[in-house]
Structure 1
Amino acid sequence: MAASRKRRSPPTSSQPNYTKRTKRITQFHHYEPLDHLQQQIRLLELLPGKPGSRISIKLHTVSLNDNPEYEALSYCWGPPKPSYDIFIHVNNNKDSNTDQLASFPVGRNLRKALDDLRLQSRPRLVWNDAICINQKDNVEKGHQIQLMHQIYSRAAVVCAWLDHNVRPKTSVFDDLESLGRGVELDDFADPEYWYPVADIFRNEYWRRLWVQQELILAAKVDVYCRSDVFSGEQLLEFQQKVNVVKSQRTRLGGPEFVLSRYIDGNTSADPTPEIFGSGVIQARINMREGREAQEAYSLSLSSSSASSTSPPSPSQGFKITRGLLASSLLNLFLQSSSVRMTDPRDRLYGILGLATDIAHDSNLEITYEASPIWVYAQIFRHFIHRYKSLSFLCFNKSNPRGSYTPRKGFPSWMPHADVCWSYVNASRACGEVLATPHVASIDLETQCLHAQGIKVDAIKHICLINGDGRGWTPIPEWLDQIESFCRKTWPDADDSTPLYERDNVTSLMFPCLSPKRYKNMWKLDKPDPQRRIHLIRSLLAAAQKADQKDLSTGDIIRGGYTPTDIIPADVREECHPLHVESNAVVLFGTEGSRVGSMARTSDIQAGDEIWILFGCRMPIMMRPKREEGKGLRYQVIGPAIIPGLMKGEAIKDAEHHGSTVILE
């Protein structure tokens, strides 16, 4: 069978003497210390044995500087209980050739993985975190975490072990071997043909944080479904082809969509969060492109500094590009919200080996003694220092479906799962002159963010259009709601045309994206103001021609209305972004007669203040709070889209000093 192949001959150590037996067995309790300056690690020598027999190992200390040959094990730790003993050969007397056996408790998954990986005729050198790192020594753990990038990238093979049985095998595994080389997912009419392969990715293994780093860094991957071995690259190619649908809103059909939902166990209409981009292969591409982008960015900063006695101008500073962000420490942290981990602090430590914007002299501190909030705050302090930007404040505070770590208890300014980078790129609320924050710092003790900015306006009233948030409100009623909102914002207006046709209102009905991003996401040209009015009028006309009286934007997008020719096909397609955006936001009017929108999940209230913070590209909604002994502090509500403020209009005539604010 092509799917299950012979195991490759692993790197081996010298042949030990297996006839020696210890007379007594003690519990293993002493690790020899590692020399961290020499980049020392431990390797376990997995001694040969028959399946199911007692597992014995030896521990060897080596230096990565000597380029040792070994394999690395990647697996899910699983529950600690019940535990099973394996046995470590220990030589307590250096002058003696006799080893003693010491028992070492491990979880079921590790015991089973070692049993499946070991050979019957020769030993195997393997690195495994649970055994090769002294898990009771937090100092050693901190040093070893810094070596993870090298440990997994230098391993001859990363053995990904899953507690999953693929038997009985079918012809789908033969086709898997040819995927992308003459065979594609849509070659088969029924996507369920691929379910035996998709079942592998339903395993909990793929949703663990440390697994992501281990596979992304690997030079070669073998996937062990218990004792069956599969080509890791072919399985990862399958993952890549399935996950591509998550980044393309328009690909809502076909085998990729069906398989993606099947793997994620998703039966709702909401998309499942992506795990580190579109999978391991895409993450590797992101890391390579990120490394190149970071080198170019550092070079531009160095050139600017060398050619001038003054600091680089803001226009020479941080440009938000996909290359810079994809493998940045901040973006990897945000993506890790949907994966699982045992210790919440590992949300930082489990991605350090992947981040391309961390310098060798980084002041990030690895410690399991600090709180998760303190650990996470380092990420944003690093972002401010590296990019001279506060645009990480442009995030939706709600927890997306599948988010592993809740927001409760964390500072209001701290992103947890997502930053609206597409909207950030289309905005310049702080202009060019103030694109770099004058004052921005994070106090690690209080977890407060200190920044400067200008208060522009405050919220007067709020309007939730399409109360159900699913787009089933009849189109005439939907437009009446928006018109009523506009009349409340501009009570003295006497326009002969509907107020909802004003440019600053129609722009809120469509995604706030750059033309290029709009085209990439929707495969459509971004509509200009006149086109927006035409689309809205076409929707109203369709509602007046339809047989049913309750025709909604949801009906237009999903079809099923009669007669079917009440709206042109191109208009129907262009209304898809309008439908999505209008049902995702809440509208608000301000004391200064401005209109704007925020995410529907935002906890926005009348009286909330609109600020332009220096170094943040979108207007930020904040709520003032006065506490005795603390003075005035602010709670971040989230980013807002406010026509008339998105291109730096509010600060053109303002003094650049601004006010200092404390966000908590």
Structure 2
Amino acid sequence: MDSTEGLYTYAPLPSDHIRLLNLHPSPDPSAPLQGDLLTLPLFPSPSAQAAPFSALSYVWGPTLPSPSSNQNLTTPTGVIRLTPSLFSFLNRLRDTSSESLLLWADAICINQLDPYEKEAQVSLMADIYRSATQVLADLGEETDGTAVALAAIAEYTRAGVRRGITAKGFGKLLSPQDTARFLDLPLPAEDDVETEEETNRAMNPSAEVTEAVIRFFERPWFTRVWVVQEFVLARAVQMFVGKTKVSWQQLLGSGILFNGMPMLVQESVSFTMREIWGMMSFLCMAYIRRIRTLNSTEDGREFVSHLASLSDGRLLQFYQDPGLASLLHYLRMCRATLGRDRYFALLRLASDVTDEDWAELRPDYISTDDAIVRRYARVLIRKKGAAEMFMRAGLWRGTNTSNPELPSWFEDATHEYDQAIMDLTVEESIHKAAGDSEFVVGTDAEIPDVIWVKGHRLDTLREVCPAYALPKENTSSTMLEELQQVLFGYVRKAVETLLKFSEDENEPLRPGPYLTGEELADAAALTVCAYRGVDALSREALFKGFWFMCLAVMGLGADWNNHQGSFRYQWSDEMEGEIGDSIEYYCNELGVVVNGNLLPAVTDKGYFASGPGACEGDEVWIIQGCRIPILLRPNNEPEYGGRYRLVGTCYVHGVMSGEALQHPDFEWRDVSLC
């Protein structure tokens, strides 16, 4: 028999219409799935009542429908083959009594063999998920660790609401009332007393619990790029693991740091970035969804304004008003069968995509990936968030992975990138290297890969610290041990580069003032950790952590207590606890630096700098409208002579607050980038 015999035949869909699956009930859970497909207008006339339906959010999975499989949906006019994941979800959703379910599922309701219909329906998907009465999200089947993970998440979040979100969340400690409101969870009643056992479990999660939570968020649903709009745009969301219902608000709480509590995944540093990306991706989309729902009411908008007033508001502004370039950056590690789907899946979430942009940005499965990247670059460089987009791009990030001729000033999101959230532009800071200037960009239709910006050339990198790598004979068993070695190795090489060892054993580090009049050692301490300048960080605490760390990694310790230079902290056995705490404090600030591949450097004029992928000869520029200095690399290729390639953002000690604008030789001039 022909493998296509008896298959359902799709009739063409009228414009702005969708198909819905009417899934029949069955008292026998093992009975074949049965239903019929209805064709309905997505936007009914005002006098017509829209049919209430639920939209499914699930992962297709690596296994496609097989002709020999019995995982099918039977309709009156033919059979539709299903992927194992969708077959499983429909079986779990199917009512065993007498109620039919009206559902929208892309694998069934879109003719996957018709590229024209697929393109039209993909363009309507945001409206479909907005129109559904609810979105049913399938996180997959239950596993051995599911119950442990869900119990720990519920207990941790409940305990956290009582204590409030720490100042690291919004810039100021949130009250339990505000915390409950933000998470959309009930505030525990006063007489609902937390037991000592519950407190201990929440405050001291075991390795088994941490492992179970991390593995729970490794489920493919959390990193599939198409689920982002499905989840964010939904009127209501109900999640399922097996047949168990899961609260997405509690899942959001699992990744939040509450006052006086360690994170539930406090051992996450022993996992790779890819292993924790599921949680990071979900937190991003959950924040966007929560701020979006709050902004749907006047009372909620006032609450969001209150949250924004507690900090510089940059990340909150992203969650509240996400531009397409920011979405592409923060969700760049999300998986997609086709790289270009990262662009198309996020289009309808972006606040800055207009009807006029649609012709350039619409889903396109015919053009090459490089053509799509260039098309998006030309549109987004003209948007309000262009300066932030510009600062997040650069050669260090692998912008030109697929084609070295792609513009360096735009991220190529067709490729996954697991360090998307680790860089200077993400961290909260008070940097204003270009003052209050406005980002000005020029383009030329004849040369689409080239832009012009206004900038001031500050200096050139003279010496760059070599990247630190673990020795080949390293036998560390955990990522935490490797991270400790990297941090210590990084600091040692950084100090050797910035301060230089002298031949005098009693003066191990170079004395003297920095360009700003500070001690060189203090300038080095802040440069090595790319000092953010936020009030929450104590400069004195950073200096102490830096110096104790230097003494530890250089093996100097108590032998250097007689140093007469800038060292002002004494090392002694009695101070073991304080020394350890200081070093841990400084190491915490090194996380973004190390993960962001920042390399300390010294410029021709004596500035201390730290930039990703830096090389000797790279130039430091202050770019109009950019709060962080930029590293540019001269491009000597004949067709691009006189133009630069963007390397990345760069911390430069002594110019992060706009000091360069006061230099006698300061002036803005055009600089061309390709």
Please indicate, yes or no, whether the TM-score normalized by the shorter chain is above 0.5. yes
| Letter in structure 2 aligned against 1:205 | W
User: Partner of 2:607 in structure 1?
Assistant: 594
Q: Does 1:625 align with 2:625?
A: no
Matches within 5 A, 1:132-531: 132-166=109-143, 180=158, 181=188, 187=201, 191=206, 192=208, 200-226=216-242, 228=243, 230-233=244-247, 236-244=248-256, 253=262, 255-258=264-267, 267-268=271-272, 272-273=276-277, 274-276=279-281, 278=283, 281-288=286-293, 321-326=314-319, 327-363=322-358, 364-377=361-374, 379-387=376-384, 389-395=386-392, 407-409=401-403, 411-415=407-411, 417-418=420-421, 420-422=424-426, 425-433=429-437, 435-437=438-440, 439-441=441-443, 447-464=449-466, 470-473=486-489, 479=495, 482-484=498-500, 501=520, 504-516=523-535, 519=536, 525-527=537-539
User: Partner of 1:53 in structure 2?
Assistant: 31
User: Partner of 1:73 in structure 2?
Assistant: 56
Aligned mate of 1:112, from 55, 65, 88: 88
Distance 1:194 1:532 in 2: 30
Report SS of the residue matched to 2:488: coil
Shift in CA distance, 29/328, structure 1 to aligned 2, threshold 3 Å? same
Report SS of the residue matched to 1:350: helix
How far has the Cα of 1:377 moved from its partner? Answer: 4.5
Shift in CA distance, 436/269, structure 1 to aligned 2, threshold 3 Å? closer
1:221 touches 1:231 (CA, 8 Å); kept in 2?
A: no
Q: Does 1:575 align with 2:578?
A: no
Report SS of the residue matched to 2:87: helix
Report SS of the residue matched to 1:471: helix
How far has the Cα of 1:284 moved from its partner? Answer: 1.5
Deviates more, 1:278-287 or 1:405-414: 405-414
Unaligned runs of 5+ in 2: 45-49, 159-187, 302-311, 414-419, 471-484, 504-508, 562-571
How far has the Cα of 1:218 moved from its partner? Answer: 2.9
User: Partner of 2:163 in structure 1?
Assistant: none
Shift in CA distance, 122/474, structure 1 to aligned 2, threshold 3 Å? closer
User: Partner of 2:78 in structure 1?
Assistant: 102
How far has the Cα of 1:508 moved from its partner? Answer: 0.6
Shift in CA distance, 592/546, structure 1 to aligned 2, threshold 3 Å? closer
1:72 touches 1:127 (CA, 8 Å); kept in 2?
A: yes
Shift in CA distance, 598/540, structure 1 to aligned 2, threshold 3 Å? closer
Aligned mate of 2:66, from 70, 77, 82: 82
Distance 1:627 1:406 in 2: 16
Matches within 5 A, 1:114-133: 114-120=90-96, 121-133=98-110
Shift in CA distance, 389/461, structure 1 to aligned 2, threshold 3 Å? same
Distance 1:477 1:197 in 2: 36
User: Partner of 1:637 in structure 2?
Assistant: 647
| Letter in structure 2 aligned against 1:223 | M
| Letter in structure 2 aligned against 1:639 | T
Distance 1:172 1:655 in 2: 57
Distance 1:30 1:481 in 2: 67
Shift in CA distance, 440/68, structure 1 to aligned 2, threshold 3 Å? farther
Shift in CA distance, 613/134, structure 1 to aligned 2, threshold 3 Å? farther
1:441 touches 1:451 (CA, 8 Å); kept in 2?
A: no
Distance 1:329 1:629 in 2: 31
1:43 touches 1:59 (CA, 8 Å); kept in 2?
A: yes
Deviates more, 1:366-375 or 1:332-341: 366-375
Matches within 5 A, 1:543-582: 562=573, 564-565=575-576, 567=578, 571-572=582-583, 574-577=585-588, 580=591
| Letter in structure 2 aligned against 1:420 | L
TM-score of the superposition, structure 2-length normalised?
0.69
Report SS of the residue matched to 1:454: strand
1:452 touches 1:658 (CA, 8 Å); kept in 2?
A: yes
How far has the Cα of 1:452 moved from its partner? Answer: 3.9
1:25 touches 1:103 (CA, 8 Å); kept in 2?
A: no
Shift in CA distance, 496/195, structure 1 to aligned 2, threshold 3 Å? closer
| Letter in structure 2 aligned against 1:69 | P
| Letter in structure 2 aligned against 1:461 | E
How far has the Cα of 1:352 moved from its partner? Answer: 2.7
Shift in CA distance, 169/281, structure 1 to aligned 2, threshold 3 Å? closer
User: Partner of 1:301 in structure 2?
Assistant: none
Pairwise CA RMSD:
4.6
Shift in CA distance, 151/515, structure 1 to aligned 2, threshold 3 Å? same
Aligned mate of 2:13, from 26, 33, 58: 33
Distance 1:222 1:87 in 2: 23
Distance 2:496 2:214 in 1: 47
| Letter in structure 1 aligned against 2:222 | W
Shift in CA distance, 174/662, structure 1 to aligned 2, threshold 3 Å? closer
Distance 2:637 2:93 in 1: 60
1:186 touches 1:254 (CA, 8 Å); kept in 2?
A: no
How far has the Cα of 1:128 moved from its partner? Answer: 0.7
1:72 touches 1:126 (CA, 8 Å); kept in 2?
A: yes
Unaligned runs of 5+ in 1: 1-23, 90-99, 297-318, 488-492, 520-524, 550-560
Shift in CA distance, 114/495, structure 1 to aligned 2, threshold 3 Å? closer
How far has the Cα of 1:347 moved from its partner? Answer: 0.6
How far has the Cα of 1:471 moved from its partner? Answer: 3.2
Shift in CA distance, 282/444, structure 1 to aligned 2, threshold 3 Å? farther
How far has the Cα of 1:424 moved from its partner? Answer: 8.0
How far has the Cα of 1:77 moved from its partner? Answer: 0.7
How far has the Cα of 1:442 moved from its partner? Answer: 8.1
How far has the Cα of 1:502 moved from its partner? Answer: 5.5
Distance 2:542 2:152 in 1: 47
Distance 1:26 1:398 in 2: 53
Distance 2:592 2:219 in 1: 34
Q: Does 1:585 align with 2:562?
A: no
Distance 1:630 1:545 in 2: 52
How far has the Cα of 1:190 moved from its partner? Answer: 5.4
